[in-house]
Structure 1
Amino acid sequence: MQGKVQIKVRGFHLDIFQHVNNARYLEFLEEGRWAFFDEFNIGDDLLKQGIIWAIVNINIDFKAEASFGDVLEIDTQFTKLGNRSITMKQRIVNIANDKLVVEADVTYVCFSKEHNGAIPLPDDYRKKIAQAIG
C-alpha cells in the first residue's frame, strides 16, 4: 500500500535563497504520513487505547531543490515491520518534472502512555501492516 498527497510550495516555505527550507521538508513528510495513516485507518483507534506511534529515527537525503509554486507529491509506504517498530519510506517528487527532491526513511515505535514505553504492536495492526508490506 502506498499513500500520496500533494503540497504546493508557498512563500512561507522558502529560505533566503528562495528554495524550500530544509526544516519544511520535515513538515511535508509529516503531512504525507498523517494522510497515509488516515487512508490506512490506523490512528484514531490506537489513540483511544493510549497507544501512539513515536518517531525514533528519521534519515533524510536531499536530492534536488524545490521552489515557489512547485507542486510536490509525497509518496509514503511501509517498508519494514519489527516487533515494536515500523519503518516507512517516503519520497517527495516534483510533479512538473518528475524529479526526486527528497527521500526519507522514518522509524516509529509503538508507544504506550500507560506503560511509558515501547510495546509490541497490537496483532490486528501487525497483520494489517504485514499485508501492506506484502
Structure 2
Amino acid sequence: MDHRIVRSTVRVRGFHLDGYAHVNNARYLEFLEEGRWAYFEQQFDLAALFNEGLAVVTVNLNINYRRAAVIHDELEVLTSLSHIDQRNAVMHQVINRVSDGKLIADADFTFVVLDTRTKRSIRIEDKLRNVLEPLVLEC
C-alpha cells in the first residue's frame, strides 16, 4: 500500500447500530474521524502545529453511503490527502468491509488551517506546504 495512505480499523459494536440493525449514519462520522486522527498521527505532528498556534478545522464533509455495515463487521478506513491549494486541503477517505473488501462508504473532508490567535484561516504555504505537498495522492 502506498505510504501516503493510512489504514485504520474499527469493529462494529452494538452501540453503533440504529433501529434497523445497521450502523447509524452519524457513526460513520466517528469512523472517518478516527481515520483522520490516525492519518495525522502517522503523517505529521498535529501537536507541533497546535504549539505554533495553528489548528486543522473542518469546513466541509461529503459522505457517500454505499452499503450497510452490521454488528461484528470489521471495517478499514483508508485516508489520504487528495488535494491542496492556497486556502484549503481535501482528504479522501474510503471505508471498506475487511471480510469481503466491499465499499461501505467514501468521503471527502475539506479543511483549512486556522490561526488560533486570530481565529482566521491562513494560507497554506512555506513550511506547512512543504510538509503537505509530498503527501498528496490524487484520487
TM-score (norm 1): 0.96
The yes-or-no answer on 1:114 pairing with 2:136 is: no
Q: CA deviation at 1:122?
A: 4.8
Identify the residue that residue 132 of structure 1 maps to in structure 2. 135
User: Which of 1, 7, 10 is 2:10 aligned to?
Assistant: 7
User: C-alpha separation between the residues in 1 aligned to 2:118 and 2:126?
Assistant: 18
Whole-angstrom CA distance in 2 between matches of 1:122 and 1:14: 42
Would you say how many aligned residue pairs link Structure 1 and Structure 2?
Answer: 134
State the Cα distance separating 1:108 from its structure 2 match: 0.2
Counterpart CA distance in 1 for 2:111 and 2:30 is 16
**Structure 1: tracts of 5 or more residues without a match:** none
Identity percentage of aligned residues: 37
**Residues 20-29 or 121-130, more deviating:** 121-130
Task: Give the letter for the 1:46 counterpart.
Answer: L
Alignment match of 1:53 (pick from 56, 77, 101): 56
Asked whether the 8 Å contact 2:86–2:125 carries over to 1, the reply is no
Gaps of at least 5 residues in structure 2 are none
- The DSSP-based 3-state class of the residue aligned with 2:95 is strand
Q: 4+ residue runs of structure 1 moved beyond 3 angstroms?
A: none
* AA at the equivalent of 2:49: L
Distance across 1 between alignment mates of 2:44 and 2:121:
21
Conserved? CA contact 2:60–2:109, under 8 Å: yes
TM-score (normalised: structure 2): 0.93
Cα shift readout 1:81-110 (whole Å, capped 9, x = no counterpart): 011211010000001110000000000001
Shift of 1:125: 2.2
Distance 2:98 2:106 in 1: 15
Show the counterpart of 1:86.
Answer: 89
- Structure-2 separation of matches of 1:99 and 1:106: 21
